[in-house]
Each structure stands twice: as structure tokens, then as C-alpha cells.
Amino acid sequence: MKTLLNLILIFSLTFSFAQKKEIKKATKLFDAGDVQEAVDPVDASSALFDEADDKVLDQKIYLEGRIAQSNKDFELAFEKYTAFKNAGGVNSNFDAQLKSLTTDIVNVAIEDNAEKRYSKAAKNLFLAYEIDNETNIDYLYYAASSAVNGLDYEGALKYYNELKKIRYEGITTQYFAKSVETGETVEFSKSEFDLYQKTKEYTDFKEEKSESKFPEIVKNIALIYSELGDNEKAMSAVKEARVEDPKDLNLILTEANLYIQLNENDRFEALMKEAIEQDPNNATLYFNLGVVNAQRGMKDNAKGYYEKAIELDPNYESGYLNLVSLILEGESVIVEEMNSLGNSRADNARYDVLKVERENLYRECVPILEQLVEINNNQEAIKTLMNIYGTLGDNEGFMKMKALVVE
């Protein structure tokens, strides 16, 4: 029995020694830069580790994490490092290894963003955040931005809601000084700022805190819900966002658009006027007010808004076309009455009056359409003008427009 026990002990020690030897061999190869060579002894000896003690398994898991990181399989690397940590693994380089993993992930994410692989960049930046959700919190914000750029609104919403939950502000200190040579204000890093204060090259050194990113985060949540068509959540988020930043033009317009979808035109118009107070030279705001007033039958108001849009932007094609369309709406009533008349002297006299009214509508549209044609040969304007000239008996104008029609 004693002999058997001795044999078991010898076998166990030999087996354990073989396991450690393979790990040591693989680690040495990896440290020498032979990544694939390091993988081979671990894979080839996988059965050897089935009965390994915890310490040897921890070393194996840690090495597998390093190999995965080297191969840019960052999720697997983090999974292995986490398993190593949860198992109570001890390694003096562990914290430094996690930091190097974060650096590798962020560098790849920067490359992905530069190559417009936004969704991949967002995924990696979120992983960097998960590695250390206190130190790496900025990467969650960058993950949300990358997701938006990649039109991954569901992903962006997940990241922004997490940022909102922890009330991320992202406030940083910015460092500025004025160049003695050029007089321009230059922004520096903290180390440069400290260094140049000891020279005479710059003056007027100052530190400024950046604005909080929290209002932007809440705003983007509202905009994303709106983009996804979830009007109820969008409206709730917009109202919350406007508490944070009541003057933000995008928020005002988002809320206005939500009200137009809910057919609450009064609220829409009130918000559009509020938006105009923020941006009085924005032709699109006046145009949108024109559209809503036209839909509500308030033609004089609509006409004024369209004319204001054109005044602010003389190349605003939709403004010209909608203005003409608004004017010509009066034609249908005139034509309907003309068609209802008989052949009496009174009816004939009334017909002549209506004919003049109809021609006056056309003549009102002519200079508007001519201006639009002059801008860029707008085909819709050309064809409308051709018909008007034909009706008015202006053969010269008709032929001129006909020559401009693109078949």
C-alpha cells in the first residue's frame, strides 16, 4: 500500500510538473513574440490541464487572455482576464495588463472611426468602458457618439441611457494662453500649459471648464426616440431635456415636429415662433410655418411666411413653388363657378369677370415662377409657366419656356 501511495504521489508531482512546464514554455514563446508558437503547446496539451490544480489553470487562463489580446480578440481577452481575477489569480502585472488591453481597444476603435466602421468602434469603446466603468467612463460617451454616426440608434440609446443614469457630465479643464508673437489664443495640454508659464513666449494664461455634456445626452435620447418613431417616449424625453436646456433649437424643433405628428397645430406654431426667436434668419422655419398655416386654411398668413422664407433665402425653391401653389388654390373655386354658369346675358357677364380673376391669379404667379426659372431652370416652374403663358395667349413666353423643357 505504501508503495502504491508513493507511486501516486510521484505521478501527481510529475503530472503537475509537466503542466507547469508547458505553461512556462508557452509564456516564454509569447514573451519572445512568437504568438502562434505559444498557442501550439497550450492547445496540444489541453488534455494535460483537465486535472490541473487551480494555480496552474489560473496561469493558463491568464496566458490565453494575453494571446487573445495579441490577436485583437478583445472580448475573449477580457473574458479570460475576468475569469482569472474571479478565480483569485495573482499576478503583479495584472492591472497593467488591463490598462494595456484598454489602450489596444481604444486604438483600434480610433482606426475604425477613421475608416467609418462606426458600429464596430462603438462596440469596442463600450468594451473599454466595461473594463473599468469608473476610470474609463468617457469611452461610454464616445461609444454613443460612434453608434449614432453608424446609424445604430438602438445601440446609441443603450449607451446614452446609461450615461443619463450615472448623470455623466464629462466636464474637463481647458488651458489657454495668448502668443506674444501672433496675438492668437492657443489651447494647450496641462503639461504644456505648466511649461510655457516659465517662458516669455505666451501671456494671459487662463483655465476654463468645459460645459457639461449632460444636456446634450438627454437631448440625444429625445432625438433618437423621435427618429425611431416612439413619439410618447420622445415627448417625455424632450420635455426633460428642455428643462436642462430650454433654449436649444434642436430640442424646440423636435418638440414641434412631435406636435405636428400629433396634429396639434397650435402647439407646433407656438414652438416654431419660439424657434424663430432663437434663429430669426432661418428660412426653413418660416417655410414650415407657411406649410402649417396653408393646411389650416390661413392663406394670408401662409403667404406671408413663404415670402419671408424667400426674402431670407432667394434660392429657396420650395418657397417659390409653395407660394405659387397657394395662389393657384383660388383657381379651382373660380373654374367651378365658371362651369356652373349658363348662357344668359348675366351669366356671360359673370363669366367674363371670373375669367379676368383667373388671369390675374396667373399674372401674380408669373414673376415668382420667372425668378425661380432664373435661379436654376426649375422644370416644374418652366412647365407651369408654359401653361400659364398658353392660357394668357402669350405665344412668345410659351415658346421660350417650351425651349427650356428637358424631355
Interatomic CA distance for residues 268 and 263, integer angstroms = 9
Q: Which of 277, 253, 286 is nearest to 267 (CA)?
A: 253
CB 147 within 8 A of CB 122: yes
Q: Is residue 280 part of a domain?
A: no
Give me the domain span that covers residue 56: 2-91
Q: Give the pLDDT of residue 34.
A: 54
Q: Which of 118, 122, 123, 215 is nearest to 163 (CA)?
A: 215
- Of 26-40, 51-65, 158-172, the range with the highest mean pLDDT is 158-172
Interatomic CA distance for residues 384 and 387, integer angstroms = 5
Is the sign of the CA dihedral 405, 365, 294, 337 positive or negative? negative
Same domain, 141 and 178: no
Same domain, 52 and 87: yes
Same domain, 116 and 142: yes
Q: Is residue 257 part of a domain?
A: no
Q: Is residue 393 part of a domain?
A: yes
Q: Is residue 132 part of a domain?
A: yes
Q: How many domains does the chain have?
A: 4
Q: Give the pLDDT of residue 48.
A: 45
| Per-residue pLDDT reduced to its tens digit, 64-93 | 888 888 889 999 999 988 888 888 776 778
Which of 91, 118, 146 corresponds to the end of one domain? 91
Which of 39, 64, 91 corresponds to the end of one domain? 91
Same domain, 158 and 192: no
Q: Is residue 250 part of a domain?
A: no
Q: What is the CATH number of the domain that holds 123?
A: 1.25.40
Which of 133, 148, 165 corresponds to the end of one domain? 165
Interatomic CA distance for residues 322 and 287, integer angstroms = 9
| Per-residue pLDDT reduced to its tens digit, 236-267 | 888 888 887 888 887 888 888 888 778 888 88
Same domain, 80 and 9: yes
Q: Is residue 58 part of a domain?
A: yes
Same domain, 56 and 82: yes
Percent of the chain residues past pLDDT 70, beyond the cut: 86
Same domain, 39 and 66: yes
Q: Is residue 376 part of a domain?
A: yes
- Strand-pair partners of 178: 185, 203
Q: Is residue 339 part of a domain?
A: yes
